Amino acid sequence: MQREQLERRPVAANGAGRPAGHHMSGDASVYRQFAPPAVHYPEKTMPAAAAPLNLDLPPARQGFRWPAEWERHAATWLSWPHKEASWPGRLDEIPPVFAEMIRLLAPGEEVSVNVVDDAMAADIRARLERLGVPPQRVRFFSIPHDDAWIRDHGPIFLTRQLAGGHGGCPAAATETAIETATETAIVDWGYNAWGGKYPPFAQDDAVPRGIGTELGLPVFAAPMILEGGSVDGNGCGTVLTTESCLLNPNRNPHLDRAGIERNLRDYLGAKRVLWLGAGIAGDDTDGHVDDLARFTAARTVVTVVEADPADVNYQPLQDNLARLRSMTDQDGAPLEVVSLPMPPAVEYDGQRLPASYANFYIGNQVILLPTFACPQDEPARAILQRLFPQRCIAGVDARALVWGLGAFHCLTQQQPSAG
């Protein structure tokens, strides 16, 4: 763990003076302006029509919800990698993986890419041209960033139904559910690089407001530090998280479990919060849930399980499995829990890395599945194919990526469709 404690990724103030950038369309020139019990909450009523927004009032109280990842996207967001300390000695292997991610995602949705300068944008365009990616499927935004982990430093997008929308939970309807008409907003959580581990991070902390400015979306400032990889939701009000991360005093020492749940209710629309225990070996995030367990449908959770009792991950993952089997969703219905294998231990330069099949990303047409050139790759792919029969499961070699201590879910952020 010595490398990540020193290199990858002090607690700075949020909000004021955050820079914004101007977007750059795919084939246009680049423009710059860098200037253990669950808690069940009462059901909220969605508005019948759009009401004026009050950015000082939490969004869930104004009818916003956090859509499930499998609901229709307008775009997937990336922050292009450029920090050598995140992949020491292997940074040159990472841009080709990002380009492949874009190639796979672009047929089903627009890909929005944050870049730091003209040269970076030009290099990406050349890579994508060689792969045959239509330039109109990719938009570039000149939003400065310190690191590539946009799941954690980027915005979380919310939606609320407008007049004429159907009732019920859209995420429960189909694998590709979409609301008929919605309004979109952004939640800007505080960000301190996983408990202050990897300064500098001021530019990363500013990314959500930069994206909000570019898209012309309202931005709600949440009163706590939270990374997107530390929570997972079913789109209907149930949120998964871990005690090892959200209760860690290096994030929000002033908040207890009840205070954190209150903020998840107010800013993500959580009606029930499900707490797992600890994360996997090698994870420098203190146990992000997106390496452990993920919703794949409104009442279905896939969770990684280690087969070897001698492995350090065996007991923590058994504990998480037992918790999930006893948990219920926001309506009190039991979860369907599906086991996903773990790959054999992945090590590099003597360091155990957080390799996990749970760190997949759900695109409109494709699932990006990290693979590790091992026999477990195919069973993991087959399980996800059963869970997502309408999508292609694209296994992509993640052995270089995971040297940065993350994979595809850590490196993406979905922007839901507005209908």
Choose among 1, 191, 198, 194: nearest CA to 85.
Answer: 198
The tokens 């938009």 sit on which residue? Answer: 139
Catalytic residue among 169, 236, 245, 410: 410
d(CA 42, CA 25) in angstroms, rounded, equals 43
Within 10 A of 296 (CB to CB), how many other CB atoms are there? 24
Confirm if 368 and 105 have CB atoms less than 8 A apart: yes
| Contact predicate 161/107, CB 8 Å | no
What's the N-to-C CA distance of the chain in angstroms?
Answer: 44
Instruction: Give the integer Cα–Cα distance in Å for 405 and 279.
Output: 13
- Bond before 200 cis per omega within 30 degrees: yes
For residue 33, the tally of other CB atoms under 10 A from its CB is 12
Q: Is 410 a catalytic residue?
A: yes
Helices (H), 26-172: 94-105, 118-130, 150-153
Cα–Cα separations (whole angstroms), residue 50 to 157, 162, 181, 212, 388: 17, 5, 10, 19, 33
Question: What is the token pair recorded at 384?
Answer: 């996800």
Active site residues: 410
